[in-house]
Amino acid sequence: MANFETVEVSTDLLILGGGFSACGAATEAAYWAKKNGLKVTLVDKAAMDRSGAVAMGPSAINQYVGVRDGENTVEDYVRYVRQDLMGISREDLVYNIARHVDSTVHLFEKWGLKIWTDEEGKYVHEGRWQLMINGESYKIIIAEAAKNAIADAGGELIERVFITDPLMDGNKCVGAVGFSTREEKFYVFKAKAVIVGLGGAVHVFRPRSVGEGFGRSWYPPFNSGSSAYMTLKAGAEMTCQEVRFIPVRFKDAYGPVGAWFLLFQSRATSAEGGEYMVVREDELKNWAPYGLAKPIPANLRNYLGMLDTDAGLGPLYMETDEAIQKLAEKYKDDEKAFKKKMKELESEAWEDFLDMTISQAILWASMNVYPEQKHSEIAACEPYFIGSHSGASGAWVSGPEDLDTPYKWGYENMTTVEAMFAVGDASGASSHKFSSGSHTEGRIAGKAAIKYILEKGAKPNVDMAQAEELKKKVLAPLDLFEEHKDEFTDPEVNTHYIMPRQFLHRLQKIMDEYAGGVTAAFKTSKSNLERGLELMDFLKEDSDKMAARDLHELMRVWENIQRMWIAESHIRTMLFREETRWPGYYFRSDTPKMDEENWKCFANCRYNPETGEWEMFKKDIWNIPGV
């Protein structure tokens, strides 16, 4: 076996991940840990300053309720999320986050984040819930606060360690294992409570960008389904695993469209010039009541565009030139003012990409695009799993103590596995948390986890034989490569093993063709999903044949295995839900309508680690009374 040193780390609270939710968890937990003499340890596969989905820095904070200024109420936010998710949301969780999120945003500002203000000192909104920021250092600022809090409480931050598996003591999580992506070290973390904040998943589906731009995607490449894998493997109940997210973005470089729709009030049209949101308005009646209420859910907006594409009316375009001209129009009688306004709008258009998706600016530049002169192509991206954004997949977690709901069995944000908490993309059915809401949920869970440790946290009973077994399994791809690499002339072509990239292509092909990816025009059916599961079985059989040349490839192996698990839970849950509820995310051609009577419920699943069987079941929706 590869000769890696085993490093044991004992802690009270173990936070897995270093993104927005984990930073929130660390900041809050460290405060309570310090008061009670407890240790907090945070582990990230990358460097926390720039890790996670918005490492590059976005241009807006997407969740701010604005209670202080009487802009909205917390109940307004609950209604908004319910509407966008076609009635399927854990309103207790959404409510809990929404009532605390403003205070999180105020903390961000205190820590140094520049939130735009107008002449009266009020926050500048991009849309109803979004605040404009100077976001290029957003993640660094949030990470700095978390680092300071951990250091102040005598905790530990461990970067560049990839977490592979949970450590279990029956139905209780007692830690996790992982390996360093820089040194030959295998880590065994022992903890009284564990918070999973390992983000969502990208590259489960074949991306539009293959070959020439392989790896390019809307969701940055860092997150590979580790959250879902950890909770599934621990035996936790999951929810909404069928609810993937498909954003419509500028084509090929995945540039954001939010500023165009919200700030520039731009229209999206087919190649023939029809505005699909207007031309196809009647279709929305088929998805009532959600199709007829405002704002129109993101998936339905996607769907209307997809209908145009299916009808051969594509490509679709963002009418950037028209939007800019319209905004500058009122200055048209004053040539100097008009020129100044045009310059300002033009620079805002480029800035929107430069601070968040630089590659889109590069693509525009290389294709001689002048947004003020010519429209630009947009398209629906391949599917992603991001329960904190507009998807909803994640673990089924215990809700807030003070609401009278059927969803309480433990401490806030604890999964159905004892001592294991889930936050951000790791916790399901509470979409539209975004960066600020994920941080807020982390804070809620951080406080709850410390409470759990104080009230129930016993010394973790870690079976080192289990850890040793895991070490063997985790490092096996290195051994496999070493053993057989010289038997063939090309190290990548070998009858004894496959390389992680080859495995990834196979997974993506299954998902793309059978589970409603781009090639299948986001459509699937019972027969397709069943065939996908059959192929997935063969893929699983081959998963222990992946080989790795070095630490980087070892990480690729484990990323793929984690992706395979979220993929399977996705297929199984789409198969279980016998209706089409989010037609712009996926369309089940054999059950093409929404069925409010039978399927206005959560579709939950659980992998049973004892039997290796999957359990699928429905859970009732609970609405906040009067909301």
Helix (H, G, I), strand (E, B) or coil at 547: coil
* Rounded least distance, CB 337 to ligand FAD, Å: 31
Query: Of 229 and 364, which CB lies nearer to ligand FAD in the complex structure?
Result: 229
| Helix axes 500-514 and 526-542, enclosed angle (nearest 10) | 170
Distance CA 225, CA 247 (A): 18
Taking the complex as a whole, the smallest distance from the CB of residue 271 to ligand FAD amounts, in Å, to 26
Instruction: List the one residue out of 602, 601, 581, 603 whose CA is nearest residue 593.
Output: 581
List all residues 6 or more positions away from 260 whose beta carbon is below 8 Å from its beta carbon.
266, 318, 320, 323, 352
Which residue carries 């994920």 as its tokens? 438
148, amino acid identity: N
Q: What's the CA gap between 116 and 133, in Å, rounded? A: 5
614 part of the active site: no
List 208, 249, 439, 563, catalytic entry: 249
Measured from the CB atom, the residue of 43 and 327 that comes closer to ligand FAD is 43
Q: What's the min distance (Å) between Cβ of 389 and ligand FAD? A: 5
| Residue 219 or 364 having the CB closest to ligand FAD | 219
The amino acid that residue 413 corresponds to is: N
Stretch (H or E) spanning 527: helix 526-542
Residue 254 or 522: which CB sits closer to ligand FAD? Answer: 254
Q: Give the span between the Cα atoms of 623 and 221, in whole angstroms.
A: 36
Per the structure block, which two tokens stand in for 292? 């007829």
Q: Is 249 a catalytic residue?
A: yes
Strand-strand pairing, 156-158 and 40-43? parallel
- The total number of residues written for the chain in this structure: 627
Nearer to ligand FAD, 51 or 569 (CB): 51
CB-based closest residue to ligand FAD: 19
Question: How far is 37 from 30, CA to CA, in rounded Å?
Answer: 10
Pick 58 or 371: Cβ nearer ligand FAD: 58
Taking the CB of residue 7, how many other CB atoms lie within 10 A of it? 15
**Residue 91, by phi and psi: left (phi above 0), alpha (psi -120 to 50) or beta?**
alpha
Closer to ligand FAD at the Cβ: 198 or 316?
198
CB of 261 to ligand FAD, least distance (A): 13
Whether 388 contacts 424, CB under 8 Å: yes
- Active-site residue, selected from the candidate residues 12, 84, 91, 126: 126
- Does an H or E element contain 602, and which? strand 602-607
For residue 62, indicate whether it is catalytic.
Answer: yes
Using the minimum distance from each CB to ligand FAD, give the nearer residue, 313 or 423: 423
What is the smallest separation between the CB atom of 580 and ligand FAD, expressed in angstroms? 25
Minimal distance, residue 560 CB to ligand FAD, in Å: 12
Q: Which of 84, 91, 237, 352 is catalytic?
A: 352
Question: In angstroms, rounded to a whole number, what is the distance separating the alpha carbons of residues 180 and 306?
Answer: 43
Min dist CB 382 to ligand FAD, Å, is 13
Between 17 and 235, whose beta carbon lies closer to ligand FAD? 17
Catalytic residue status for 299: no
Whether residue 73 contacts residue 111, with contact meaning beta carbons closer than 8 Å, is answered with no
- DSSP assignment of 412-469 equals TTB-SSBTEEE-GGGB-S----HHHHHHHHHHHHHHHHHHHHHHH-PPP---HHHHHH
CB of 85 to ligand FAD, least distance (A): 15
CB-based contact 40:10 (threshold 8 Å): no
CB of 54 to ligand FAD, least distance (A): 4
Q: Is 165 a catalytic residue?
A: no
3-state secondary structure of 561: helix
**Contacts to ligand FAD by CB under 6 A:** 17-22, 43-46, 51-54, 58, 60-62, 162-163, 178, 197-199, 218-219, 222-223, 226, 386, 388-389, 424-425, 433-436, 438
Catalytic residue among 125, 160, 389, 443: 389
389 is catalytic: yes
- Nearest-5° angle of CA 594, CA 378, CA 199? 65
Q: Which of 51, 59, 62, 89 is catalytic?
A: 62
Q: Is 250 helix (H, G, I), strand (E, B) or coil?
A: strand
Q: Which of 32, 218, 260, 364 is catalytic?
A: 218
**Catalytic member of 376, 435, 528, 560:** 435
**435 is known as an active-site residue:** yes
List active site positions: 62, 126, 218, 249, 352, 389, 435
